[in-house]
Amino acid sequence: MRLLAAGLLACGLSLPVAALPGSPWLLVVCGVGGDAAHRETFDARAQTLIDATTAGALDPEHVIYLAERPDEVERASGVADAGGVTDSIRRIAAATEAGDFVMIVLIGHGSGRQDGGRFNLRGPDMGPNDFAALLGLLEDRRIAFVNTTSSSGGFLQLAGSGRAIVTATANTREREEPRFGQYFVDAYEGARADLDKDGEVSLAEAFEYAALEVGRFYEDEGRLQTEHSRLLDIADAEPAAAPLEEGDVGRLARRMTFGAGGGLGAPGDDPERQALLAARGRGCGRSSTTSASAGQRCPKTTISMSWRLCSCALPKSTPSSGKGRRRNEDGGGRDRRAHALGRLCRRCGCRSVR
């Protein structure tokens, strides 16, 4: 089918409006809110994610949104219950092929159980075992499964070949309502988590962005952090926290995007993006980059991770003792928010996460 489509395009023939097989799919499930305020919050997160991804390469026809009360929200195509989830995954399985990218995002409330927790839905809740059977229908697809609820850590057991699992909590005992979900969908809005400026937001970048924002929120509020997100894309490995170290865990997640062939677009011939990429080789006079493919490292890098932590002089801001700011060794203040969003170090061109 894909070869046929390519031949038609080469001959100048038009294709139907519907997206070609091979383009990514997104399933968003908003579970039981419990009250009007939570229903509104959960729907807003879903709409943010759908807006952000369909503004890029994701075809709106490849988005399925299930809601607690679908008649009260826009875009919802079905009820967020076990039957709706099952039917949606079966539909995606029928429309996709081996190697296609599918993202499933759970938004709502969770509850802890000894067998791995539950995602709260209308009617029977669903746990890891329920989703394991359904994900079996998507064999050989590249699957990003994101559970943004409390007590979601038990869903990490779904990791396997071609699957990357992201959870808002490290285990089922973290039962406070997490903030991870909001920051995760924000990561895709305006590609704000695209720290390597390749034109795409990968699952790994969205995970790291959200986790760092969660940490800063609790630090700024002076509160004990009650949620610790995790990512696992290798079966039987240790789930990883952010920032992701260089290694096997996270390798698959770094390749999961909504762009061409499964992101928000590549730099291509865009001179502005090319200039940003080239800037990483300046500053120290020696190569410095966050590009995993380049395999280069700034000589001043102190930690090995996907977002380099540079120890040389960082962009200065007005000295302050307020929340969210630290002081450099030379006495100048620096805005940690600016670095978490991925600004370049002015001296060496590499990026900072703190």
CATH number of the domain within which 110 lies? 3.40.50.1460
Tally the domains of the chain: 2
* 191 & 97 share domain: yes
Same domain as 306, residue 174: no
Residue 57 near residue 26 (C-beta atoms within 8 A)? no
Alpha helices in 32-117 (DSSP H): 36-54, 82-95
Output 153 or 279, whichever has higher pLDDT: 153
- Residue 261 resides in a domain: no
Paired with 107 in beta bridges are 30
What domain range includes position 95? 20-255
Domain boundary among 228, 255, 282: 255
| Same-domain status, 212 and 275 | no
- Buried b / exposed e along 241-258 (16+ C-beta atoms within 10 A): bbbbeeeebbebbbbbbb
pLDDT classification of 271: cutoffs 50, 70, 90: low
Q: Are 210 and 305 part of one and the same domain?
A: no
- Rounded CA-CA distance 180/199 in Å is 23
Q: Would you place residue 138 in the very low, low, confident or very high pLDDT band (cuts 50, 70, 90)?
A: very high
C-alpha–C-alpha distance, residues 92 and 314, integer Å? 46
Give 272's pLDDT tier (boundaries 50, 70, 90): low
- Decide if 58 is inside a domain: yes
pTM: 0.72
> How far, CA to CA in Å, does 184 sit from each of 25, 68, 166?
18, 21, 10
Residue 275 and residue 206 share a domain: no
The reply to whether 81 and 122 lie within a common domain is: yes
- Mean pLDDT value of segment 284-305: 33
Same domain, 301 and 333: yes
- Residue 332: per-residue pLDDT: 35
Domain end, chosen from 255, 280, 309, is at 255
Q: What is the mean pLDDT of the chain?
A: 76
Rounded average pLDDT over 88-115 = 94
